[in-house]
A and B are shown apart, each in its own frame.
Chain A
Amino acid sequence: MSIFGFHYQLERKAIGLVLGIVLVSSIGGLVEIAPLFTIHQTVEDAKDMRLYTPLELAGRNIYIREGCYACHSQMIRTLRDEVDRYGPYSLAVESKYDHPMLWGSKRTGPDLARIGEKYSDQWQVAHLINPRDVVPVSIMPAYDWLLSTDLRTDDLSAHLKAQRAVGVPYTDEMIANAALDAYGQANPDSPRAEGVTKRYGKATTVRPFDGLPGRLTEMDAMVAYLQVLGRLTDAARKPVAQAGAVQ
């Protein structure tokens, strides 16, 4: 067969064959993934997109540490039933600063992409201490130690730096103040609170998330993170409203 003629030649040259295999197997990636970096529509523009504060980032790390992503996705797909239940579908820009992303694919519990401010802090704390106290039939594990464990803040600057290394635009000032900002965000009455909204924007929530002002616990970080999910930008609410879809 003549179309195999070239192949017969190639098979006889080991290096050539290896290069050929590499070339052919990378076509998929080159055609499907690489162009996404240049196509403008891949990641939507969202001018109002905020950064995770150090406290929220710490909560995100606890979310990863505790494996919450094994049961919860953070990705509302473009399907009618998902939009009906959870709200506007997720946009790429919403995970722009998620390193690594936590979209997940397993839903033992509900999707959490729009959980921010859906429930009160009190509910979130009660639910994490023991889910069955508020949802009697829940099968979610209890995470009561979050409330009794003080949050580690000495490494927060390093976490921000690491995020900056992969493209999140944290400023030097944010990095230098990371630990203090984490404390300030959970203690609205402390002198540190002001710096948080100054650096991260007015829309940042400054509250005693775990109900224990004066103490900075892992619960503060976890709840601060949950309450910001889906609220870093309003971009996702716009296209749906335009389509007149909500009704």
Chain B
Amino acid sequence: MAVEERDNHTGYLTTGHEWNGIKELNTPVPRAVYFFLTIAVAFSIGYWILMPAWPLGVTYTRGLLGIDQRNVVAQSLKEAAADRNVWTAKIQSESYAALLADPKMMAIVREVGRPLFGDNCAACHGRDATGGPGFPNLTTTSFLWGGKPDDIFNTIRVGINSAHKDTHVSQMPAFGRDAMLPRGDVLKAATYVYSLSNPGAKNLDPATVAAGKKIFADNCVACHGDNAKGNPELGAPDLTDRFWIYGGSLDAIDTSVWGGRQGHMPSWEGRLSELDRKILTLYLLDKRTQTP
């Protein structure tokens, strides 16, 4: 600024720049801006002292409050667990029978179990646990691996054909594809199986059903049992009821016997806590009582 020049009209200094007779005013920065700037600077100095802020080569200033988001989340999880302890302790310590008979606890199980089931199980077993093609309905009394509370808890823990070391192994052989039975025999066995859950079906040839029964006795009873009622030791399903994993039409049954079936359910031991798994077991037991 070579010359100090004051604009007569406003009383401000000019910058000394002039364009075609128009002079640029040197309007001072409003006081309010300084005010807020000062507050912001003071705040940041406080923040630098209290919170993690400045890099120092291989480390950084931790701040006097010692706040770390990872501890914050660990703490809030701990607090949440403590809050829930009122009822989680009871779920952990009491027996299934006692819990199932306690309407207050079951109301909690229903409330907490629903999102737990929704986040982890619904993708396969459906939102209402009623299953879908390839994924069993969990609301029935027809269980593959046993329907006692401990059985269900254990199934959830180890999974089926999963990577867990104690996994349930479910192997329905591929009788057709692996040439264990000729094509015609597969269809006969399937027809017999179909007749079990459709006793009134008229379009079935009695001779085929009888032949199928013989083939079934020779090949299938070891797993599915003499009456085709299934075997919870092997995860072999009851073939006489109306619940099917892969479909109960003659076609679907034929496909099961021809190509075999190896359902896969992951193990939940590593992903869900023991408490969560017990809640889910109770949730399923409860669902079962609601299904006719």
Partner of A89, one of B1, B73, B134: B73
Residues of A close to B210: CB separation below 8 A: none
Rounded to whole angstroms, the CA-CA distance of A85 and B70 in the bound complex is 17
Complex alpha-carbon distance, A241 and B268, angstroms: 16
Q: Does B248 contact A (CB under 8 A)?
A: no
B55 at the A interface (CB under 8 A): yes
Determine whether the beta carbon of B273 is less than 8 Å from that of A246: yes
Count, chain B residues at interface, CB 8 A: 40
Picked from B55, B81, B123, B134, the residue with its CB within 8 Å of the CB of A245 is: B81
A247-B60 CB under 8 A given contacts A123-B123, A134-B123? no
Asked whether A83 and B123 contact (CB < 8 A) given A40-B59, A134-B132, A244-B78, the answer is: no
Chain B residue, CB-CB nearest to A89: B73
| Given A80-B77, A243-B78, A245-B81: A119 in contact with B123 (beta carbons within 8 A) | yes
Could you say which residues of chain A place their CB within 8 Å of the CB of B71?
A: 243
Query: Smallest CB-CB separation from A120: which chain B residue?
Result: B264
| A40-B88 contact given A87-B271, A118-B271, A247-B275, CB 8 Å threshold | no
Q: Which residues of A contact B74 (CB under 8 A)?
A: 239-240, 243, 245
Contact: B73 with A31, CB < 8 Å?
no
CB distance B266 to A120 under 8 Å? Answer: yes
The answer to the question of B95 belonging to the interface, with a C-beta cut-off of 8 Å to chain A, is no
B135 neighbours in A (Cβ, 8 Å): 134
Distance in Å: Cβ of B3 to nearest Cβ of chain A: 13
**In the assembled complex, B38 has its CB within 8 A of some CB on chain A:** no
Q: Does chain A have a CB within 8 A of B182?
A: no
Known: A117-B163, A119-B123, A246-B273. A126 touches B78 (CB 8 A): no
**Which chain B residues border A25 with CB–CB below 8 Å?**
none
**A80 and B83 alpha carbons, distance in the complex (Å):** 14
- How long is the Cα–Cα vector from A22 to B266 in the complex, in angstroms? 55
Contact B77 A78 (CB under 8 A): no
Q: Which residue of B lies closest to A246 (CB)?
A: B273
B57 CB-CB contact with A under 8 Å: yes
Chain A 79-90: CB-based contact to B (< 8 A → 1; otherwise 0): 110011101010
Cβ B81 vs Cβ A122 within 8 A: no
Q: Cα distance A31–B54 when bound, in Å?
A: 8
Q: Does B133 contact A (CB under 8 A)?
A: yes
Bound-state Cα–Cα, A39 to B120, Å: 37
C-alpha gap A78/B124 in the complex (Å): 28
Hey, what's the 0/1 contact readout for B119-131 against A, CB within 8 Å counting as 1? 1101110110000
- Our pick among B88, B120, B122 for the contact of A247 (Cβ within 8 Å) is B88
Q: Which of A39, A79, A123, A240 contacts B124 (CB 8 A)?
A: A123
Interface residues of A in 36-51 (CB under 8 A from B): 36, 38-41
The answer to whether A134 touches B77 (Cβ under 8 A) is no
> Would you list which residues of chain B between 57 and 81 have a CB under 8 Å from chain A?
57-60, 69-74, 76-78, 80-81
Chain B residues near A84 (CB, 8 Å)? 77, 80
The reply to whether B55 and A35 contact each other, CB–CB distance below 8 Å, is yes
For A122, the chain B residues whose CB sits under 8 A away are: 134, 264
Contact yes or no, B73 A83, CB < 8 A:
yes
Instruction: Report the nearest A residue to B59, measured CB to CB.
Output: A39
Least Cβ distance of B71 to chain A in Å? 8
A8 within 8 A of B: yes
Per the bound structure, the CA–CA distance linking A195 and B26 in Å amounts to 76
A127 at the interface (CB under 8 A from B): yes
State whether the Cβ of B11 lies closer than 8 Å to any Cβ in chain A: no
Question: Does B199 make an interface contact (CB < 8 A)?
Answer: no
Cα separation A197 to B73 with both chains bound (whole Å): 37
Return the chain B residue nearest A247 by Cβ. Answer: B81
Interface residues of B (CB under 8 A from A): 1, 28-29, 54-55, 57-60, 69-74, 76-78, 80-81, 84, 88, 119-120, 122-124, 126-127, 132-135, 163, 264-266, 271, 273, 275
Q: Could you list some 6 contacts between A and B, CB below 8 A?
A: A35-B57, A40-B59, A122-B264, A123-B124, A134-B123, A244-B81
